[in-house]
A and B are shown apart, each in its own frame.
Chain A
Amino acid sequence: MSQRTFVGGIHPSYFKDFTAGKPIAPARAPSQVIIPLHQNIGAPCEAVVQVGDEVKVGQKIGEPQGFVSAPIHASVSGKVTKIGPYNHPLGRPVEAVFIENDGQDTLYEGVKPNKPLEELTPQEIIQISKDAGLVGLGGATFPTHVKLSPPPEVAIDTVIINAAECEPFLTADHVLMLERADDVIYGLKAFMKALNATKGIIGIEDNKPDAIASMQKAVAESGQGYDIEVHALETKYPQGAEKMLIKATTGREVPPGALPMAVNVVNQNNGTAVALAEAIKLGKPLYERVVTVTGPGINNPANLLVRNGTLVSDIIEQCGGMTADARKLILGGPMMGMAQSTEEIPAIKGTSGVLILTEKFVRYYTIGPCIKCGKCVDVCPMHLVPNFIGSASEKENIDLAEKYGAMDCFECGCCTYTCPAKRPLVQWIRMAKGEIVARRRKQ
């Protein structure tokens, strides 16, 4: 068992105590779900139901409109009351299917167990992951079946399960490893079989010793015939970033602009592994997931099993409501999550956390000059020069920002966390990236 890491990164306070050790509790089924038809990287879906239709749990309601896309399924049974635009966590309204919950939880007839893993071919595994609407549950929501279908000339030798969960406050992956360790292994074996990979690695940060023990036990019990290792990694943000995870577990560095398959690796979040296990064993599509509801601004933090399309306002109410000094609502973690302007927003496949921060976490900073302290250069996991990229973008010198490496930034936030001048580096770099992409599209 190795303990490796990557160069750079930060050690913020982790605040895991809010929800550490809290078992997964099923959320109260909401009276209405509003399910957006775009819940993945890639193309959106189009509704295959109409207003007035009766739908059942697990029934497909959204058909993908491209290869890089995944179908969407109903998370409750009931009647479709409306199909129209609604708030979406990414900021712009998205077409959504409104379903009124009849409280029956009637399961769709098409949800049936598949053949056991031993009897499935790789193509069948990939098809199951597609039909179940699986996307990366770490938050990036990349359609799983696409990740499992690299071009034929690429040979994948290693599948890495990303159970690092490096973001402060979040514990969904942690609790899944304690309660569903066997399914994580099952899912990993399915990934390995689908890709013909010979090695499986589960990467866990060392601030979760109980999860490490739980996974080691599961590997010993059900990992026979597969070369699977559990790696304890140094707890450092962003250890869970896929390039950093690959570096820490295998020592390989993914080249700039390339995907993990360039170094013969595929990463999957451990929640996605559990979802694949359920899809194979039960035929269950992805319509619910574990969400960490946490932060100093929520009265009863919890690890909830939330149905797709449940409004965050509903989730917050179930958890005792917000405290009087609550000021920020973030979907995701505090380093890369998106702050929301309203609670009336649906939880979607990629919603790993509902984080409520209070007054004392929300500070209005005066932006200072860059004092060339170089701390951002020291912490950047991609070894960029965030100070120069940020300053260039601030002055709207987009070419200079691109030259310094803006497109290689994955917006982890280490630089902005560290900057003593409180410069909004990620925000500036993000602006430059948007401009660069727009310019490239024009050409």
Chain B
Amino acid sequence: MERKLVVSSSPHLKSPEDIQSIMVDVLVALFPAALMAVFLFGYRALITMVIAMVAAMATEAIILRKGDFFGDGSAAVTGLLLAMTLPPAPPWWVVAIGSIVAIAIGKQVYGGLGSNIFNPALVGRAVLLVSWGSYLAGNVWMKPVPFGFTADLVTRASPLVTNKASLLDLFIGTVPGSLGETSALALIIGAAWLYYKGHIDWRIPGGFIGIVFVLGLFSGGLYGGIYHILAGGVMLGALFMATDMVTSPVTPVGKLIFGIGCGLVTMLIRLFGSLPEGVTFGILLMNGLTPLIDNLTLPKKFGEVKKSNA
């Protein structure tokens, strides 16, 4: 019987997971935090998230000249993550520019997915911070009003500035802040999903949160330690930003060093720098060191005996 047999290299079985399924897993993981944002900050939070995601996907589709709007899902993730770092209701054009910069400059000029050095969402946020900082900081953080679909949002300063917020509020999220950063609870639930799926490793968040806690202990005792973990963008940064696969190390030891480095720079900025929040630049700085960290922390091969310096 005439039959054409397919000949290809081993292995002949492959995992069903692909890049798109991983990106969808990340979107699902961000869903609790996104839901919480809408719950706390109202419909304008949803508008911000939608603008950010659509602008990101559109920018990528135009640059890559692809009709497939969702693509591998990475642009949607970048858009949503960027939105998570923004206050509930910045001007629509600020959000859009942030996304366009994130995708065009933070990712595509490097060669697209996998080739970028810096976390694209944070590149977008950093540009917004230095160019239109007034729309992002100060009294633009809104005090959440639960069930706030139609409620007016009231402007208040974020807990990092006021240093006044109960730990429970910080954990659940009923504090002023950016869309994604307020609810540690929602973020942890989402991160647990990513961990279950094997997309994040304990080392980056562990290193990040760990060092923030330790330095927070020095700065303000046990309360200070917990406060620094829960306030501001540490939870979002440690669980979702620093763990971005493309811009973080691949080696186990490298991941730990990277996480600790992010937390260290974050705290240096928080405690001694002029900005109230250091997560953005902490992660971006460590992103730049990732290739070096990788090559310095290559795993010991099976059976390898380290030569002693005799």
Residues of A with Cβ closer than 8 Å to B? 10, 12-13, 168, 243, 247, 253-256, 258, 322, 326-330, 334-343, 355, 357, 361-363, 365, 368-375, 377-378, 381-385, 387-388, 404-405, 408, 411, 413, 416-422, 424, 426-427, 430
Contacts and interface: CB of A to CB of B under 8 A. Distances in A.
A419 B250 CA distance: 13
Interface in B258-310: 294, 298-305
Q: How large is the interface on B (under 10, 10 to 19, 20 to 34, 35 or more residues)?
A: 35 or more
Main secondary structure on chain B at its contact with chain A?
A: loop
B303 A254 contact: yes
Contact of A377 (B15, B198, B299): B299
Interface of B: 3, 5-15, 17-19, 21-22, 72, 111-115, 198-199, 201, 245-252, 255, 294, 298-305
A267 to B, nearest CB: 15
Given A326-B3, A329-B5, A422-B18, A339 B303 contact: no
Contacts of A355: 12
Contacts of B246: 371-372
A416 B14 contact: yes
Nearest to B247: A372
B14 A370 contact: no
Given A371-B19, A372-B248, A420-B21, A322 B3 contact: yes
A374 B299 contact: no
Most A CB within 10 A of own CB, among B13, B22, B198, B255? B13
Contacts of B294: 388
A366 B185 CA distance: 38
B19 A421 contact: yes
Contacts of A421: 18-19, 114
Contacts of A377: 250-252, 299
B3 A255 contact: no
A339 B302 contact: no
B114 A370 contact: yes
Given A372-B246, A427-B9, A408 B301 contact: yes
B13 A426 contact: no
A341 B11 contact: no
B290 to A, nearest CB: 8
Specify which of B9, B113, B115 lies most central, judged by the most chain A CB atoms within 10 Å of its CB. B9
The 10 A-B residue pairs with the shortest CB-CB distance, nearest first, are: A413-B11, A369-B114, A374-B250, A427-B9, A253-B303, A373-B245, A255-B303, A383-B299, A334-B12, A335-B11
B10 A335 contact: yes
A430 B9 contact: yes
Contact of A339 (B8, B15, B198, B305): B8
Nearest to A430: B9
B198 to A, nearest CB: 7
B7 A339 contact: yes
Contacts of B18: 368, 420-422
Nearest to A424: B9
Contacts of A385: 250-251, 298-299
B11 A336 contact: yes
B10 A338 contact: yes
Given A369-B113, A373-B245, 19 more contacts: A12-B13, A243-B302, A253-B302, A328-B5, A328-B7, A335-B11, A342-B5, A370-B114, A371-B114, A372-B247, A372-B248, A374-B251, A375-B198, A378-B201, A381-B302, A416-B14, A417-B15, A419-B15, A427-B9
Nearest to A7: B302
Given A383-B299, A411-B10, A255 B304 contact: yes
B302 A416 contact: no
Contacts of B7: 328, 339-341
Contacts of A363: 14
B304 A256 contact: yes
